[in-house]
Structure 1
Amino acid sequence: MKIPNHLRWPGKVLRIETDDTDYTPIETIPEEYRNLVIPAASVFYTHDYDFDMLCQSIRLGPFSLWTHEVFAMENITLLPVTTKPIIALHFMAGSDVMAEITDNGPYKLSGKEVNLFKLDAAFHEAPMKRGDTLFSFHINVLPHVFSKLSTKHPELAQLTQKKLRKGSGPLHDRPYKINKVCFEIIQQICGCRYIEMLADKFLYRNCLDLFINFANQDKVSHLPSPKFDPEIMDAVPHAVQFLKENVGEEFNSAKMAYILDVNARELKAAFEATCFISAEQFHFQCKMYQAFKLIVNTKAEPNIIAKAIGMRDTGEFIKKFETYFDCSYIAVRNAQ
């Protein structure tokens, strides 16, 4: 593939999916960017007069996880490139970018939005103005692998059954908003300190949970968005925080609504309509994430960890944990 030669501003290659192994040694990355590095990731750092770019990639079974942070000191044209066809679940933050997606014209990538793209092997174009910043986070899957994911994960059937369009472009009608639950998962991924097997298992589950959440949103995207009173909508992020902070308790929607001083039925509906997961399912997700951290970071026995996440039956806890992370409790414990 040749880099486009008709560019108005200097072109800067942005790796979306490549087999490039010309990684940047961590010690050569400027100090101010090192806190952004995920220990399990392979890192590419590029700098010149026009821009700074930090790209990270992690291979996780069928998933290829990438993060990009770009700081434009002058007007530039990003040249996102993939060397093979992919399906990409793409989350965006920072400045808005008008991406020239091959064969389909401009597509606006806005902060706090998520899209599912099919991208052919090609260079694409995305101009950035001086002073713009970009944080792009995406999970790639090869198309032939993507179509089979629902065999193991039926929750993804909504996505894997989509007819792949000709050429590059989104696989849905409009961008979706990044909801509070997905934002929490992305923060967790970017802050992950695990390496090797622990990173593989923990980050794979994070990626899967993001795909499932997107599938849930896509499933109801054709329906009118329900309306809720402002006080109910304001309570949803507080409910997310409450559930994160109370993993040691059994799920109790009435108690949560009482503490947040809202109607339990309305809170339940608003949570599901805006987070695309039930409050109870999200609470279970938080419990499993916390259990993983406790197994890795403490020497606590399984019964103690089960109790710490509000589960009375140790055997049931271990079974659910192993199903959720698709690995044995002992393997995680021994990888400390």
Structure 2
Amino acid sequence: MVLSLVSPGPQGIPDKAGAEKMARIANDKMSEEVMKNPSRFAGLISVSMHDPAQAGEELRRCWNELKGFAGIMLNDFQTAGEDRNTMLYYDDPEYDVFWKVANELGAPVYIHPREATPEINEKMWKGREHLGYSALGYANRVNMHLLGIITAGVLDRFPNVKLLVGHMGEHIPYDLYRIDHKLNRARFPKMGMRKDKLVRDYFGSQVFITTSGHFSTPALLCAMAEIGPEAIMFSIDYPFESIPNASVWFDEHVKDTLNARDLVKIGRGNALNVYERLREGKGPHGLKDKTPTECDVGGLRTKDGEVEFGLYNKDFNKRLVKQ
């Protein structure tokens, strides 16, 4: 399990010194706890994003001096201002100094949702607070931020940066046709993204999604059709979601829907490709690439004496009950 400080973390602290202090304390503690059992856990680095240069320094410290980290967690925009209503977004050119460090280190960046500011809550969600969080508001804020980073050209300037979002892509896969269709280059000539690329072109190489908290097989199939299986990885979103519920969905429903290669990519392989420090020889976690057969998916069950593929009901005369 890849662990992180719970949202909003340092992004929810408007005071620069306080946010930086929280990140440092959390990172030191995370490293200490992960390294008690690194074959079971890895961690994500927390940073304050008030000062992009300081965020890069803390990232570099954790990446080079501490152990157990596989990437970074940013909880959407950074809160600033005495009234907590200032929102700092990382597509602003001043954040290039941070992205340069992430690019140099090869540290994947996960963008996680958080609550809105008091002003936004008052203007948008008052009287409909139930929509302001996981049901709708979280996704709407994160997908705007992610698309802002992509269309500002951040990934073009820093081609080694990898971004991740959860919840089956925060609505983006479902809307990807319209996003690409409406980002008309004649209408928006100053858009910073490369002129020869679509948003969808970044998925699977620099942008990835996880299934965290979104255990819908039709939604997964939509995402696979739009961005490809290599851009998706299994995740749970604990403690906000049930580990057994997520596992039953993937092991019993998704397993019977996907081919073995895509199942293993989404369930294991893609995470090792993105979070390279999880791999054996790259860090203390020691995970290995595995084939579908090694993951006990598809193929002959030779260890059980199987000699025939596809014989799920071994009696020719009656239907057996699944144990």
TM-score normalized with structure 2 length:
0.29
Identify, as 1 or 2, the structure richer in strand: 1
Which structure has the highest helix share of the two? 2
